[in-house]
Structure 1
C-alpha cells in the first residue's frame, strides 16, 4: 500500500514538473503528464486502491478540466528552506483572484473537490497545500504558528504576482485566512470568507472542546487506523458515507495521515496553545462572510454567531441546514453559491440567514 501511495504522489509530482515550465494546456509535456496519470488510474483501479485512485483522478480532473496546474514555490527569506505547492490557473484571465485555504481533513484538492470546478468558472482560483500537508509543502523551519502559515501563504501570492485577492478558509484554514486579513496580508486581502472555524474561541475554550472529545485531538484529526478515520468522518459529517470499508480507509491514511505527521501534530499543539495568535482578536476592516453548518459537532454554530457579533455590520452569517463540519462537501452547492454571491456583490446586505437545502 505504501508503494502504491508513493506511486500516486510520484505521478502527481511528475505532472507538476511537466506543467510548471509548459503553461499551455496543449503542450507535449502536459499531454504526457495527463497520459501518465491516466495509466496510473487504471493500475490503481485494477488493484482496488480506491483512495489512491481518487487522489490521481482529482489531479487529472484539475489539470484537464478545471485547468489548474500545481506549482512548487520556494518562498523567500533568510531562514530555513520553505516550499509550498499551489494549484494555480493555467492561463491568465480577467476573473477576480480567490485564495482557498483548506483545513486538517486533507490537502487542497481533497478539501475543495466539490468546489473548485464551480468556483474556477467565476474566479481565478489559487489553492495551496498548506505547510506540512500533502507530499510537497514542507519547511525546515521550527515555526508552527498560524502566523507562520499566514505569512507563507501571503508570500506565495506575492511570488505569483497577485497584488490583491479575496480569501476563503475552512476550519484551520479559517484561522489562517483571518490572520492574513488582519495582519500578514491586510493591505492585499479584499474580502474574507470564514467557514466553520473556531477563530472567535479563546485558546482555553479550544482546549476545553478538545478535552471533551473521546480521544486525543491528534489521534482524532490524524488517525492511524481505519476505525479512527471512520470516527473522524462521522464526527465531521452530518451524513457520512454509508460504505467505508477498512481497505479504503487504510489507503487514505497512507496517503494523507502518515507523511509529516509529527509536524502536523505540532501545528495542532500550537493551535491549542495560542489559537490564531491574536489577543484580543482584532475586528477585520474587510467585509466578511461567515458560513456554518447547523449540525457542526467540531465547532458549534454558537461560535459562528459570536464571530458575527464580533465583526459587526460589515459581516454576514449564513447557516447551511443539515450540514456538519465538512459543509464544503455536504452543502457544496449552497457554499459555492454563497461564496459567489458574496464576492461578486450579489448580496442583500449584512445579516444572518439560514440557507435552505
Structure 2
C-alpha cells in the first residue's frame, strides 16, 4: 500500500493549509453584504477613446450601496489585505447615521489591479476618482486611514470640486526626508519603510503590529501571519509609533485653521482598529456638522479623548 498522505496542516514552510485570512475575508464579505453593500469590479480603460473596444488597464474593486447613494462617504483603507478588514466595524454605525459607505480596494490591494507601471499616490487618486465617476458619484466625503489618507489628501488637491471634506486618520502626509535622518520615523530610509509597511515574513508582521497597536495580540502563530502577507478632520492615536504625534501637529498647522485634530488616548497607529467606536463617532459628528463649524481651527475644537 502507498504511504498515507501528509497531514493537511503540514503546509510548505510551516504555513496553514486552512487559511485564517481567507476565512476572515469571507466573514467580512458577509458583513458587507448584510449591511446592504454589493461588490463591483470597475474596469478603467487606458486606450484612447477612439479605440472601439479598449482593454481595461486598471480594475478597481469596490463595495457600493445597492441603491444610488444620497450621502456618499468614500472610505480609503491603509496597508493591508483588503478594504473589508479595516472598515467592517464602521458599516452599520455609518449607515445608521445616514451615510452611504463606498469602500474600494486601492490599486495593488485586495481585488484591485493594474498593468500600468505607475505607483504614485496621484495614480491611486486618479483611479479611485475615475471609478467614482463610473458609478455616478460626483461629490462625496472622504475618510482615509494611513496610506489611504495620503491618497485622500491627493484626491482633495486634484479634485476639489468632488471632495467635499476630508477626514484623515494617522496619515503622515507632512513627513519629510529629514525626519528619517533625525529619527522621528522608526526607520532610516525609504527601503526600510517599505519593508515595514509591506511585511513579507511573520517576524516582519510582528514588528509592524508592535508598532501599530498599543496592546498587540499576545499570540501570533506564524501560520496565520503568512496570510497577512477642504475642511479636514485629523484623527491620531496618541501613542502612534509609525507616524508620531509631531506629524499630526505639523499637519494641523499646515492646514491653517481649516482642520480639527482629535487625539485618541490609549491607541497607536491602528487607532481605527483599536478604537473603532470612538473613531467612528468622531467621523459621524464631523461629517454631520455644517461646513463652517467643521472648518473651524480654533483651539476650542481641540478634543482630547480620555478613553
Aligned residue in 2 for 1:232: 208
Matched residue, 2:161:
187
Distance (whole Å) between structure 1 residues aligned to residue 283 and residue 273 of structure 2: 14
Matching residue of 2:32: 62
Aligned to 1:147: 122
Q: Give yes or no for contact 1:233–1:240 (8 Å, CA) kept in 2.
A: yes
Distance 2:194 2:125 in 1: 22
- Cα distance between partner residues in 2 of 1:153 and 1:93: 17
Q: What is the alpha-carbon distance in structure 1 between the residues aligned to residue 249 and residue 138 of structure 2?
A: 32
Which residue is 2:278 aligned to?
Answer: 334
1:356 lines up with 2:300 in the alignment: no
CA distance in 2 between partners of 1:125 and 1:88 (Å): 7
Aligned residues: 277
Deviation of residue 210 (structure 1)? 5.8
Q: 1:196 aligns with which of 170, 181, 192?
A: 170
Query: What are the superposed Cα offsets for residues 38-61 of structure 1, whole Å, 9 maximum, x if unpaired?
Result: xxxxxxx9x753322111111111
CA separation in 2, counterparts of 1:73 and 1:205? 38
2:256 aligned counterpart, secondary structure: helix
1:164 to 139, 150, 153: 139
Alignment partners' CA distance in 1, 2:68 and 2:267? 35
Superposed CA deviations along residues 95-150 of structure 1, whole A, max 9, x for unmatched, are x110011111332101212222322333111111000001x211111111110000
Q: Is the 8 A contact 1:210 1:216 kept in 2?
A: no
Matched, 1:302 2:246: yes
Aligned equivalent of 2:256: 312
Q: Cα gap change, 1:321/1:164 in structure 2, threshold over 3 Å: closer, same or farther?
A: same
Separation in 2, partners of 1:76, 1:187: 23
TM-score, L = length of structure 2: 0.83
**C-alpha deviation, 1:229, in angstroms:** 1.2
Q: Is the 8 A contact 2:65 2:102 kept in 1?
A: yes
Task: Report how far residue 93 of structure 1 moved.
Answer: 4.7
Q: Structure 1 length as normaliser, TM-score? A: 0.72
Structure 1 residues 162 and 67, CA gap change in structure 2 (3 angstroms)? same
The 3 A distance-change label for structure 1 pair 343 and 206 is farther
Which residue of 55, 74, 82 corresponds with 2:58?
82
Q: What is the DSSP-based 3-state SS (H/G/I as helix, E as strand, rest coil) of the residue aligned with 2:64?
A: strand
Q: Encode CA deviations 1:304-346: one digit per residue, 9 max, x unaligned.
A: 1111111122210000001110110101011000000000018
C-alpha distance in 1 between matches for 2:99 and 2:286: 12
Does the 8 Å CA contact 1:295/1:322 hold for their aligned counterparts?
A: yes
In structure 2, the CA distance between the partners of 1:204 and 1:86, relative to structure 1 (3 Å rule), is: farther
Q: Contact conserved, 1:166 with 1:190, CA < 8 A, in 2?
A: yes
Match of 2:3 in 1: none
Larger CA deviation: 347-356 vs 187-196:
347-356
Tell me the CA shift for residue 239 of structure 1: 1.0
SS of the residue 1:325 aligns to: coil
Can you give the 5+ residue segments of structure 2 that lack an aligned partner in the other structure?
1-7, 10-15, 49-55
Q: Which deviates the most, 80-89 or 202-211? A: 202-211
| Cα contact 2:174–2:247 (8 A) shared by 1 | yes
1:275-294 correspondence runs (5 A)? 286-294=230-238
Q: After superposing the two structures, state which structure 1 stretch, 165-174 or 217-226, moved more.
A: 217-226
